[in-house]
Structure 1
Amino acid sequence: MCREETRKEKVLPYYSLDDIRKHASREDRWIVIDDLVYDVTSWGKMHPGGEKLISNHAGEDATDAWVAFHNDRKAVSKYLRPLLVGKVREEERKVSELIHDFRDLRQKVEDMGLFKASVVFFTWTVGQVIALEALAWLIFWQFGTSWVPYLVATLLLTTAQAQAGWSQHDFGHLSVFNSSRWNHILHVFIINFLKGASSDWWNYRHFQHHAKPNVVRKDPDIRLDYILLVGDKLPVEWGKRKKGAMPYHHQHQYFYFIMPPLLLPLYFNFEIPYFLISRGKWAELFWMGTFFLRWHIIFSPFISVGGIFALFFFVRFFESHWFVWTTQMNHIPMEVDKDHSLDWVTMQLQATCNVDQSAFNDWFSGHLNFQIEHHLFPTMPRHNYHKVAPLCKSLCEKHGLKYESKPLFKAFSDIIGSLKRSGKLWYEAYHM
């Protein structure tokens, strides 16, 4: 602390960035937003995005992450005012040219109206889910449950569940309504009632991923250590320390039998109830349960209770393949490392890549083929990604950042190629 100034009636001390970095423990957490210093130690447990999201930014400038995750920043700011403890020293407030340009770009796309959602588009995305389920029911009603209609209905239900997954993602990111409350209500309706999962669980995992993508111990999507090792650094570290219970040099082969078929029907169906019960999220558990009640009411005229659960797991089995290949193609082949407190843009670009645009790719991936744009602007409605993409590419070209886009099947094959490379690195380090 070097000097004091009067801000209205409150005297705010000035802190250096080194001072702020010292406040990064579980018992003492400070963050910086727009050069103001906040003590968020007690706020962490009340944070809607989860305490982990706060702790992962402790001791850092979280300005760009805060802007990225909050649409109504004026409303959110009222929660920050009581937490204000100081300011960053004036001589340490200068940001890099990259971040300066990115913030200008953010303002430009806001002025262009690219954060405004299309009612027609999102009505269609939700409507197709309901229509596909209704069509599956009609097939059972009209043709019975012999193998051909059963498989056709399963295909329709799988598609409905996959598209519901992309749709809930939109509402979870607050990219549809201006009101966070209405986004949350529709998020619960889609992910809990239509999909049988949990809004709170999804928020807890997914916002950590966005805040620190591909960062070891901070991104839950890469916590695969005891099954798969990813990236170029972690496998070497584990190999040198003789860690690991799996033959990681074969992980590019056993991946096919573990991740795509089992993630949704096995792991998530264990993790979600455990998450909710351990935290006492009984309302979430209730709304998740309404999915199974709904399926029982819809399909019990055609199949038994056991048959309904068999249908559920059959659908989840196929959906899991769709989900894993689509979500991992943008991240697993990219850089994986420990947290080096990189700026928002550099961190997102080194951990994400795009898949080439086409009408099919957009629909199949829920526009997550525009992963770069999505990670830079997570609250932007996905139907506007293609409009901001050229601007993001220009920003990357100006600052020498790699903007990678590839064909769909090349993206799929790169998952396997990167797993093979990581496994080889582990094997060589282990036997060095």
Structure 2
Amino acid sequence: MCHTGKTATATAVRRHAIFTRKEIEDRVKQGEILVIINSKVYNLTKFINHHPGGDLAIWHMAGKDATDAVLAYHPEPVIEKRMPHFCIGELAPNTQHASKLSLAYRRLDAKLKAEGMYETNYWFYVREAVKMLAIWFAMIGLVVWGPQHWMTYAASALLGSTLWHQAAFVAHDAGHSGITHDAKTDMILGICLGNFLGGLSLGWWKHNHNVHHIVTNDPSHDPDIQHMPFFAISTKFFQNLYSTYYKRVLNFDAAAQFFISIQHHLFYLILCFGRFNLYVLGWSYVLRKGPVPHRKLEITCMSLFWAWFIPLLSYLPNWKYRVAYILLSHMMTVFLHLQITLSHFGMEAQENPQDDFAAMALKTTMDVECPIWMDWFHGGLQFQVEHHLFPRLPRHNLRKIRPHVLKLAKDHNLPFHSYGFIKSNQVVLAVLQSVAHQVRAVLRVDPRTAHAHAL
């Protein structure tokens, strides 16, 4: 049994209350945020706006069994020490049930912990830090002290894109508490590294990315696949969907119809400009009203990025070189944006799926096969299935757990999507082309009401 907790509302007056799923559903409809974890019921109504992982990550779990998602995202001390304060009762015994897949997933998680797979090899991150500092110094050194030649500047710009590529991987690890496994420590490390070297907001990414992990490839809820008017991976986007993340309608208007009808041709070109969009999203997040964890640190480190990048540009001979340097360095981060999209763009997209946490990860995520000597280039993103199942697992152990995940999928007759780099590109392009052709078909039926004909 659990204690009621200080955050329980006035309607939950019974200590050790027993809740049916219908009672939980009714209270959620009344505006309370109740979730089920290990057959216990938690009231997170007053905590939701203080959740380090963002409010939407909890909101999407309201009324549901969040056991697997919570275990995946939170270390044991958080669950054992903080969660009891929000417990208001238990689920009625006759409604307690966990699928065979869910139980197998939990056993595998316990097995990986026992085998030390959650333990970080800190020398790995020492090497990463040395590598990034060396790239950063070389990037600056070529412009400031190197020969005044366009090839020197081009080499520096390419080093810049490489730096941002590699820094994003470490920031990703930190955002998932996959380095020290302390959320606050990892977040501060990630901000000091990622925001300073790359100019982006780790806080924005975490708020966005946590939602993505909870509702992967859900057209209405997952911001990682909401790229209207440029991309649509499902005909569901023809329906003028309302984005619960962006709090606006994703209009299937004339611009969207045009771009999506040729999206398979524009795919790589648009990805080249993805980094510019991330600057806008990052600053919009840290300057918004409402709670922003580590706001001052984020703004400071993002500002310090421009404090070193703009002076670096001043060493270039003229504005033509500066514009070319910015374009080359930023456009060559296309590989990072490509790696991110390959993981999910070619996979199943369902609205409000009822799958278990593990089933959702296996159905909506793709691995990209590569030799071990190319792991540096993919930065762990090639093991997205493993990462979605065990997001706090250190990056350097993802390859080691792959056989376990393959067995989990096989034992429960679930797909395990894994392709080589070329084939994974072909899979994504095929989906984009299929949706593009359906746009054209819809427009031929009735261009004025295209969204009404979504398949």
TM-score by length of 1: 0.90
Q: Name the residue aligned to 1:324.
A: 337
After TM superposition, give the deviation of residue 113 of structure 1 in Å: 0.2
**Matched AA of 2:329:** V
Q: 1:59 to 1:238 in 2, by over 3 A?
A: same
Preserved CA contact (<8 Å) 1:236 1:425? no
1:187-336 matched pairs, under 5 angstroms: 187-231=190-234, 233-235=235-237, 237=239, 243-245=252-254, 246-247=257-258, 248-258=260-270, 260-265=271-276, 267-279=277-289, 281-296=295-310, 300-301=314-315, 311-319=325-333, 321-336=334-349
**Matched AA of 1:51:** D
Instruction: Measure the CA separation in 2 of the matches of 1:306 and 1:250.
Output: 31
Preserved CA contact (<8 Å) 1:139 1:153? yes
Preserved CA contact (<8 Å) 1:32 1:38? yes
After TM superposition, give the deviation of residue 310 of structure 1 in Å: 6.3
Could you list the per-position Cα deviations for residues 159-215 of structure 1 after superposition, in whole angstroms to 9, with x for gaps in the alignment?
111001111111111111133232122111111111111121111111111111111
Return the match for 1:18 from 10, 22, 26. 22
Preserved CA contact (<8 Å) 2:143 2:312? no
**Matched AA of 1:416:** L
Could you list the per-position Cα deviations for residues 205-259 of structure 1 after superposition, in whole angstroms to 9, with x for gaps in the alignment?
111111111112221111123222213x5156569xx94322233221233332x
When structure 1 is superposed on structure 2, of 136-145 and 28-37 the one drifting more is 136-145
**Matched AA of 1:113:** G
The number of residue pairs the alignment matches comes to 421
After TM superposition, give the deviation of residue 20 of structure 1 in Å: 2.0
Instruction: Measure the CA separation in 2 of the matches of 1:139 and 1:6.
Output: 62
1:94 maps to 2:97:
yes
Return the match for 1:53 from 57, 77, 80. 57
In structure 2, the residue corresponding to 1:228 is in which secondary structure? coil
Instruction: Measure the CA separation in 2 of the matches of 1:346 and 1:67.
Output: 15
When structure 1 is superposed on structure 2, of 166-175 and 137-146 the one drifting more is 137-146
Instruction: Measure the CA separation in 1 of the matches of 2:104 and 2:319.
Output: 58
Preserved CA contact (<8 Å) 1:129 1:160? yes
Preserved CA contact (<8 Å) 2:3 2:85? no
After TM superposition, give the deviation of residue 402 of structure 1 in Å: 0.6
1:132 maps to 2:135:
yes
Instruction: Measure the CA separation in 1 of the matches of 2:381 and 2:93.
Output: 39
Preserved CA contact (<8 Å) 1:191 1:197? yes
Instruction: Measure the CA separation in 1 of the matches of 2:188 and 2:2.
Output: 42
Preserved CA contact (<8 Å) 2:118 2:393? yes
**Matched AA of 1:279:** K
1:74-113 matched pairs, under 5 angstroms: 74-113=77-116
Instruction: Measure the CA separation in 2 of the matches of 1:25 and 1:357.
Output: 47
Preserved CA contact (<8 Å) 1:235 1:422? no
1:404 maps to 2:410:
no
1:176-191 matched pairs, under 5 angstroms: 176-191=179-194
Preserved CA contact (<8 Å) 1:60 1:341? no
In structure 2, the residue corresponding to 1:355 is in which secondary structure? strand
Preserved CA contact (<8 Å) 2:36 2:65? yes
Could you list the per-position Cα deviations for residues 356-382 of structure 1 after superposition, in whole angstroms to 9, with x for gaps in the alignment?
131354221112111100000000011
Q: 1:18 to 1:27 in 2, by over 3 A?
A: closer
Return the match for 2:401 from 388, 392, 409. 388
Preserved CA contact (<8 Å) 2:154 2:328? no
**Matched AA of 1:338:** E
Instruction: Measure the CA separation in 2 of the matches of 1:326 and 1:157.
Output: 18
In structure 1, the residue corresponding to 2:273 is in which secondary structure? helix
In structure 1, the residue corresponding to 2:33 is in which secondary structure? strand
Instruction: Measure the CA separation in 2 of the matches of 1:419 and 1:308.
Output: 34
Instruction: Measure the CA separation in 1 of the matches of 2:15 and 2:324.
Output: 64
Instruction: Measure the CA separation in 2 of the matches of 1:161 and 1:6.
Output: 46
Instruction: Measure the CA separation in 1 of the matches of 2:413 and 2:152.
Output: 54
Instruction: Measure the CA separation in 1 of the matches of 2:2 and 2:144.
Output: 73
**Matched AA of 2:43:** D
Instruction: Measure the CA separation in 2 of the matches of 1:249 and 1:384.
Output: 41
When structure 1 is superposed on structure 2, of 338-347 and 138-147 the one drifting more is 138-147
Preserved CA contact (<8 Å) 1:24 1:58? yes
Structure 2 residue ranges without an equivalent (≥5): 6-13, 242-250, 446-455
Preserved CA contact (<8 Å) 1:23 1:58? no
Could you list the per-position Cα deviations for residues 19-43 of structure 1 after superposition, in whole angstroms to 9, with x for gaps in the alignment?
2233445832111111111111111
Q: Name the residue aligned to 1:143.
A: 146
**Matched AA of 1:112:** E
**Matched AA of 1:221:** D
**Matched AA of 2:264:** H
**Matched AA of 1:327:** I
Q: Name the residue aligned to 2:245.
A: none
Q: 1:20 to 1:430 in 2, by over 3 A?
A: farther
**Matched AA of 2:175:** G
When structure 1 is superposed on structure 2, of 119-128 and 45-54 the one drifting more is 119-128
**Matched AA of 2:61:** H
Q: 1:140 to 1:243 in 2, by over 3 A?
A: closer
Return the match for 1:164 from 161, 164, 167. 167
After TM superposition, give the deviation of residue 312 of structure 1 in Å: 4.2
Return the match for 2:33 from 29, 33, 52. 29
After TM superposition, give the deviation of residue 83 of structure 1 in Å: 1.9
Preserved CA contact (<8 Å) 2:3 2:88? no
In structure 1, the residue corresponding to 2:272 is in which secondary structure? helix
